[in-house]
Every structure is written in C-alpha cells, then in structure tokens.
C-alpha cells in the first residue's frame, strides 16, 4: 500500500508542476460541479424543467451512491494525499479518500443522464465532465489516482444495477398506495442506519429521507 501511495503522491506532484492561478481556478470550478449542492440544483432542474421521471431516477441513484460511497470509505479508511504531503492541498476536503465520492457521483449522475437522454452532445458532455471532475480531484491534491479509479469502478457497478432495477420496475411504484410509500420512506433510513452508521452516513441517509418525502409531495402535484 505504501508503494501505491508513493506512486500517487509522485503523480500529483508531477501534474502540479504545471499549475498556474488560471488552472487552479479552472479545476476548482470543475470540482464544484461534483459537489452535492450542485447535484441537488441539477435534480430540481431535471425534475421540473426537463423530465420528471429522469429527475427521479437520477436523484435516487445519486443518493444511494452517496450512501454506498460513505459505507465503503468507512470500510477501507484510506487517507487523502494531503494528509501525507500537506503542501499539495489546493481545496478543502474531509473524510476518508477511497473511493472518491466526486468520481463516483459524477459517473452515476452523468452516466444516467447520458443513458436516458440519448443525444450525442449530451453523451459527449457527460464523458468530458466525468473525466474532468475526476482529474480535478487529483490536480487539487485531495485524491490519489487510485481513489478516482475506485470511484469510477463502484459508480459503474451502481449504475449497472440501477439500470436493471429501473428497467424492471419502470417506476410503477410511484402510483401505488400513498400509505405504503410513506411507510417505505420512513423505514428505509432505519434499515440503512442499522447496517452502518457514521456522521457522513447519517448525513446521506437524512438527505435520502428528505428527498423521499419531497418526491412524495411532487407525486401529489404531478399526478393530481
């Protein structure tokens, strides 16, 4: 593991040799496109302005990915590169490093959008953003290259599973009995927190629950 960390640090130091204030600002802007706040704004836009069902799908996949990512981080408990070499840090970051949440989230979100919105320009933009967001985390010194690869790997697995679930059930559950939906959204966080619990996981489960109740209100408006 020390060999992998050293290789990762050497790679980060190498790419930071070309850093400039302009590049720093560019990659800080790029990495902000992988922040949770940006995704919540994106989901709202998709939900109300583009495609209601697409917004639901992408939002659910993203929140489940955040929960899984935090759980995996708790298992591996890998450090971030700046914890070993502080001078390479260019932005704030907290928590464990592997797998990268930004890399995983960008793949599940933009991968989902690219799959369901089949225009070529959307697919090209999605691939570009996935690559740039991942690279920005390395450039800014907050993730090892292996963190990014791990994020893409787990993101791909979640994306594949999500395709199967949504293609099989086709969101028919949203027209089901409202009482059952309320019970399901209420019990889900209890079950998830019984599986694993930490401050980051509690935060992601709380967000998942809040979005769930928000979607219930959306269903009432959309279908009535």
Q: pLDDT (tens digit, 0 to 9) for every residue of the chain, 224 residues total? A: 688 899 999 999 999 999 899 999 999 999 999 998 899 889 889 888 888 878 888 888 888 898 889 889 989 999 999 999 999 999 999 889 999 999 999 999 999 999 888 899 999 999 999 999 999 999 999 999 999 999 999 999 999 988 877 765 555 555 555 565 665 666 666 666 666 666 666 666 666 677 677 666 766 665 55
CA angle 215, 217, 219 (to 5 degrees): 70
- pLDDT for the residue 154: 97
- pLDDT for the residue 191: 62
Per the annotation, the verdict on 65 as an active-site residue is no
DSSP label at 142?
A: S
Per the annotation, the verdict on 102 as an active-site residue is yes
- pLDDT for the residue 120: 93
Please tell me the distance from the alpha carbon of residue 141 to that of residue 21, in angstroms, as a whole number: 15
Of the candidates 94, 111, 35, 101, the residue with the CA atom closest to the CA atom of residue 72: 101
Helix pair angle (52-76, 199-222), 10° resolution: 170
| Neighbour-count burial for 190-209, b at 16+ CB within 10 Å, e otherwise | eebeeeeeeebbeebbebbb
In the set 90, 102, 137, 181, the catalytic residue is 102
- pLDDT for the residue 48: 83
In the set 57, 80, 143, 181, the catalytic residue is 143
């Amino acid at each position: 593991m020390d060999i992998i960390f050293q290789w990762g640090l050497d790679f980060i130091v190498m790419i930071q040799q070309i850093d400039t204030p302009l590049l720093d600002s560019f990659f800080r802007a790029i990495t902000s496109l992988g922040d949770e706040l940006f995704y919540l704004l994106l989901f709202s836009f998709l939900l109300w302005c583009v495609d209601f069902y697409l917004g639901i799908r992408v939002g659910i996949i993203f929140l489940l990915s955040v929960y899984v990512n935090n759980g995996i981080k708790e298992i591996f408990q890998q450090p971030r590169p700046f914890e070993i070499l502080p001078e390479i840090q260019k932005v704030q970051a907290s928590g464990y490093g592997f797998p990268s949440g930004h890399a995983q989230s960008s793949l599940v979100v933009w991968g989902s959008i690219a799959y369901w919105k089949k225009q070529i320009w959307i697919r090209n933009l999605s691939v570009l953003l996935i690559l740039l967001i991942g690279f920005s985390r390395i450039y800014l010194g907050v993730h090892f290259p292996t963190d990014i690869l791990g994020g893409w790997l787990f993101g791909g697995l979640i994306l594949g599973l999500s395709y199967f679930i949504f293609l099989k059930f086709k969101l028919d559950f949203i027209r089901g009995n409202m009482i059952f939906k309320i019970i399901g959204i209420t019990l889900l966080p209890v079950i998830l927190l019984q599986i694993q619990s930490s401050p980051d996981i509690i935060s992601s489960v709380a967000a998942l629950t809040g979005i769930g109740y928000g979607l219930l209100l959306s269903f009432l408006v959309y279908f009535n």
